[in-house]
Amino acid sequence: MEYSEKVMDHFMNPRNIGEIEDASGVGLVGNAKCGDIMKVYLQIEDGIIKDAKFRTFGCGAAVATSSMATELVKGKNIQEALQVTNKAVMEALDGLPPVKVHCSCLAEEALHAALWDYAKKNNIVIEGLKEPVQDIDELHHHQ
């Protein structure tokens, strides 16, 4: 299996590992098939994502994609953050082996779940954001 240099870098030196106290939104998703779990924390001020952190009990590809995804959403507004799809994250990492593509969905879904949580707490509707699933194995349309 071949991993790009960027994937290796984000796996060996993951960015944004940790938690945010009093986060604006927290998202937790898992994948029942592999048993991996991802938790994403967002700090949102005036509609801008000021900070993003994650904790994972997941494989290397899940770590690398979450590291990159949290990097990409920082400084973005919510609509821009929704464009940070698993495809966008994979592109930013110069690709993932096909059998690891589903791992990138964990990052995307946890991010969406955190945005959903933020919207719920603030009584707002985020256009284009669907209610997240807790188990991404229920999603089969991502690849």
Residues engaged in binding ligand FES (CB under 6 A): 31, 34, 36, 58-59, 61-62, 103, 106
Residue 105 designated active-site: no
Burial of 67: CB neighbours in 10 Å, binned 0-12, 13-18, 19+: buried
Q: Count Cβ atoms below 10 Å from residue 107 Cβ, excluding itself.
A: 32
From 78, 81, 103, 105, the catalytic residue:
103
In the bound state with ligand FES, the residue whose beta carbon lies nearer, of 47 and 97, is: 97
Structure tokens at 29: 């998703």
Least Å distance, CB 80 to ligand FES, is 25
Helix, strand, or coil here: 51? strand
Residue 39 falls in which region: left (phi positive, over 0), alpha (psi -120 to 50) or beta: beta
From 34, 88, 119, 129, the catalytic residue:
34
Least Å distance, CB 109 to ligand FES, is 11
Residue 34 designated active-site: yes
- Answer yes or no: are the C-beta atoms of 2 and 97 closer than 8 Å: yes
Least Å distance, CB 62 to ligand FES, is 4
Which residues are known catalytic residues? 34, 103
